[in-house]
Amino acid sequence: MVRIGVVVFPGSNRDIDAVNALRVAGAEPVVLWHESADLGGVDGIVLPGGFAFGDYLRAGVIARFSPVMRSVAGYAAEGGLVLGICNGFQVLTEAGLLPGALLRNRSLRFVSRQVAIAPQRLDSPFTRALESRRPLRMPVAHGEGCYFAEPAALDDLEAGGGVLFRYVRSDGSTAGEDDRANPNGSLRAIAGVTNAAGNVAGLMPHPETAVEAILGSEDGLGIIRSLVDSAAERAAAGRRSAVGSAR
């Protein structure tokens, strides 16, 4: 069974949801404590939501310097799959593993409600199990989720296929920056991005809490399942290439 690590920082609070979602998606979750640099040979990594280190200084920045994140950075550099959700997304941008930054919500309010996001591509390791670009309903719960990058960087991101999800209105059209459908005022309604290599992704909404009907939506499962499928494929490829290799 494919093993996916869930990193736990002091202040993580969606780690159990991530563990549950991975189980629902057919993976074996492996809890990784932030003080250990040992990733336990996992096939993929989730950085869960929460308030790592109380979000002191800036959301995600203290977590960035934890021992586990040095290993995660090395893992990502080798092509390992890393998905950051909410606070995990903030950690990845602070660590420079994903472009941009997440600013205080434009409304200044903490938002906790259902939103709709649309995948912008279906060929990434994090969206491949989705059948279409139809909007997915799942919750957001954050105070600092306003995606920001300089205009030129946003252009580059869009041109390079780095925009993975956008907030959309109920009719499926992309939300404006002051729209209720865009819960935090993210530039160009960006809800999730991926790096240039395509193996690291982050999003502010919570797919891991939308994986069963009892949770109000199952729309997030396709994202978690995509990660699990991609990790399984990568693990199988790794085993093949490991034959006859010293590594």
Partner 1 sequence: MSPSTAFRFAVNVTPKDGILDPQGRAVEGSLPHLGVTGVSDIRVGRRIELTVAAPTEVDAWTTVERLAGELLSNPLIEAYAIESLGAVSATTSDDDVAGVPA
Tokens standing for 75?
């893992």
Residue placing its CB nearer to partner 1 in the complex, 12 or 217:
12
Q: Does 94 bind partner 1 (CB under 8 A)?
A: yes
Stretch in the footprint of partner 1 (CB under 8 A) among 133-141, 144-152, 201-209, 235-243 = 144-152
Stretch in the footprint of partner 1 (CB under 8 A) among 57-65, 79-87, 110-118, 208-216 = 57-65
Query: Is 78 one of the catalytic residues?
Result: no
Q: Does 105 bind partner 1 (CB under 8 A)?
A: yes
Q: What are the residues whose beta carbons fall under 8 Å from the beta carbon of 103, sequence distance 6 or more?
A: 144, 146, 147, 148
**3, 23, 58, 121: residue in contact with partner 1 (rule CB under 8 A):** 58
Q: What are phi and psi of 241, to 5 degrees?
A: -75, -20
Query: Is 206 one of the catalytic residues?
Result: yes
**5, 44, 49, 100: residue in contact with partner 1 (rule CB under 8 A):** 100
**CA neighbor of 187 nearest in space, from 163, 169, 171:** 163
Query: Is 142 one of the catalytic residues?
Result: no
Residue placing its CB nearer to partner 1 in the complex, 82 or 95:
95
Residue placing its CB nearer to partner 1 in the complex, 31 or 65:
65
Scan residues 157-216 and list those touching partner 1 (CB under 8 A). 185
Q: What are phi and psi of 151, to 5 degrees?
A: -50, -40
CA distances for 186 relative to 50, 93, 100, 101, 148, angstroms: 20, 14, 11, 10, 7
Q: Does 57 bind partner 1 (CB under 8 A)?
A: yes
CB 192 within 8 A of CB 165: yes
Q: Does 103 bind partner 1 (CB under 8 A)?
A: yes
Stretch in the footprint of partner 1 (CB under 8 A) among 12-20, 105-113, 209-217, 227-235 = 105-113
Binding mask 62-81 for partner 1 (x = CB under 8 A): ---x----------------
Task: Report helix, strand and coil shares of the chain as percent, to nearest 5.
Answer: 30, 25, 45
CB 211 within 8 A of CB 25: yes
Active-site residue, from 86, 94, 142, 144: 86
Q: What are the residues whose beta carbons fall under 8 Å from the beta carbon of 170, sequence distance 6 or more?
A: 116, 135, 181
**CA neighbor of 76 nearest in space, from 46, 97, 90, 49:** 97
Number of residues interacting with partner 1: please give it, by CB under 8 A.
Answer: 18
- Contact residues: partner 1, CB under 8 A: 57-58, 61, 65, 94, 100-101, 103-108, 146, 148-150, 185
